[in-house]
Amino acid sequence: MSQPDSERRRHDDERVVALHRATLTAVDFRRARFDTFSLGGCLFERCDFRGLRLDHKLSPLFVALPRSVFRDCYFDGADIRHARLGQSRFERCTFDDARLDGSRTEAAEFVECRFAGAIDGVTFHGTPWGPEQRRLDPPRKRNDFSGNDFRDAELFDAVFLTGIDMDRQRFPEDELHVRIEGFHRRLAKARAQIKEQWYERERAPALLMLTTLASRWRGQDIVVARRWTPRIKAPDRVQARVWELLETI
């Protein structure tokens, strides 16, 4: 059965961009106009995604295989919430004030990127994880995560998992954030001390907080976190006291 004229005209009018193993240099995607984007194995250099909402129309940028590489690109102010970043590799990209809440980064790689502003609800992975792990292209055992600059970021709820080398990143050095080395060893000591010495009113939320931290920071010996975050179900004073204990114990 032939398509109706209106349906055929709609498809004829669609703006389709199809690229494979291409290099795109200094493209301003804020001005790009298209309906469908199909690509694989592309290199994006100095491309501008500032302020864009990376919704389903742009999702092939990240999830197509072979994976794409973004080098010296700008994602400042972009809305990347709930986006699947797939196996994308980001090199020297900027994410100042980008909305990263809930973005899927299980197999993404970040090298010498800059993050500034509030980072909330993001987990970075040192080892590929999830569905992407079964179809890595190119194959690898580790995610390259190194040289990233978080000094101007506020880590409301940013978690670094499965062996990310924290010494190879730059983090805020202020009173709002805390850095703990020997994290899981300190957790065990803190748990014993809280059980023995803390009053019940603060003991219960403190122990629950330790359980949450142990689960959230698995595979990490060094932890950098915000002293107070609404994601932890404990009063701010309890959170501050637990982090202080972990620093000194």
- pLDDT band of residue 76 (cuts 50, 70, 90) is very high
Among 236, 187, 241, which Cα is nearest to 210's?
187
Q: Which residue has the higher pLDDT, 192 or 10?
A: 192
Residue 58 has pLDDT above 80, yes or no: no
| Cα separation, 242 vs 238, whole angstroms | 6
pLDDT tens, 15-52? 555 667 789 899 898 876 655 666 778 899 999 999 98
- Report the sign of the C-alpha dihedral through residues 177, 183, 186, 188, in that order: positive
- pLDDT band of residue 84 (cuts 50, 70, 90) is confident
| Cα separation, 233 vs 206, whole angstroms | 9
pLDDT tens, 5-23? 444 444 445 555 566 778 9
